[in-house]
Amino acid sequence: MASSDDTNVGYKVHIDRALCTSCGLCEAFCPVNVFEMNDGPQAVRPEDCWGCETCAGQCPVHAIRIEASPAAKAAFEEREVAAPLDPEIKARYREWAQVLTDVLGLRWHPVAISLVKAGDPLPDVPMPEERLRFCQSLMAARRGRSLMMPANRHACPDGTSILGLTPMPEKLASGELYILFHKLDSVEAAKRMVHERPCLPPRTVDATVVTPLSDAACEAEVVAIVAQPEQIMWLSMATSYYTGHRHDFHASGYNAQCVETTLLPMTTGEINISFGCYGCRASSDVGDDCMMMGIPVSLMPQVVKGLKELGKKAIPQSRDKIYLPPF
């Protein structure tokens, strides 16, 4: 096994040459250009490595291992732990979760999403052993798991950079990689898709946290719901119940959970829907008949109140199909 020989680094890159097929994915995806392809991948700028493990997550043959120095390990392990969530907020979230579940008949937990800002204390939430995509973590949370993921627990370079955990790898920003994966017709189209989506500044977020809303460990920024279109429709109507406001949803089939369900509601303060994206549909157990909604926490009181009203007559009557002609 070869490794970078630089000793003045927080992280060392080890590449198992016996496994490596020189596919170049590590070079393409490293957000800080540590690698160059020169008779196989070489870690030519090891001092720039900050241990995000994007390369290891992308290597199809698991040939890369990142070794953290004792100082780098200690820096993470000794991070301040956040105080437990205020019991009043916890009780409020539980009540919201109950209303959503009862009125809509949700099958899965609504999910509380938070992004831990750089340097903030970390909530007491377990990290997964394996690397997961953000969408996979969200799907696991809807089934009851609580997960905190710093960059090196994330498996999707797109989501990780969009959510501000890493810089955007150059070949993703330029659109080049999307062409490679046959997802868009031209580099111009890929560039436009990248340009039109929001993206947090690099390394402004230290970890993503997803938990069932009824068991949140820290203040949520967005509540995500995975549900059938009819249930999402009622949520949309609940949001408008007191205002009549019609929504302009932003959906594309790209970056469903990171952009459409999380970042858009977080940055616009409006609800947003998503039909899912090719990534989350291929890599998680989300049903073909499900879609998603992201609700900024600031709108939750209004949504829950509107939903309670709709649940009194409108929802049961509609589900009873009262407009069908008698037969």
Binding site for ligand SF4 (CB under 6 A): 11, 13, 15, 20-26, 30, 32, 34, 41, 49-55, 58-59, 61, 63-64, 66
Q: Are 175 and 187 in contact (CB under 8 A)?
A: yes
- Its sign, for the CA torsion 256, 259, 262, 267, is negative
Choice between 45 and 305, CB closer to ligand SF4 = 45
Complete DSSP assignment for 35-89:
EEESSSEEES-GGG--S--HHHHH-TT--EEEEE-HHHHHHHHTSPBPPPPPHHH
Q: How far is the CB of 87 from ligand SF4 (least distance, A)?
A: 39
Q: How far is the CB of 96 from ligand SF4 (least distance, A)?
A: 37
Sheet containing strand 2-3, edge to edge, reads 2-3, 11-15, 64-68
Q: How far is the CB of 201 from ligand SF4 (least distance, A)?
A: 17
Q: How far is the CB of 195 from ligand SF4 (least distance, A)?
A: 24
> Tokens 């969408």 label which residue?
135
- d(CA 301, CA 25) in angstroms, rounded, equals 45
Please report, for residues 1, 88, 95, 300, the alpha-carbon distance to residue 294 in angstroms, rounded to integers and kept in the order given: 45, 23, 18, 10
Q: How far is the CB of 6 from ligand SF4 (least distance, A)?
A: 12
- Residue 192 C-alpha from the chain's centroid: 21
Q: How far is the CB of 32 from ligand SF4 (least distance, A)?
A: 5
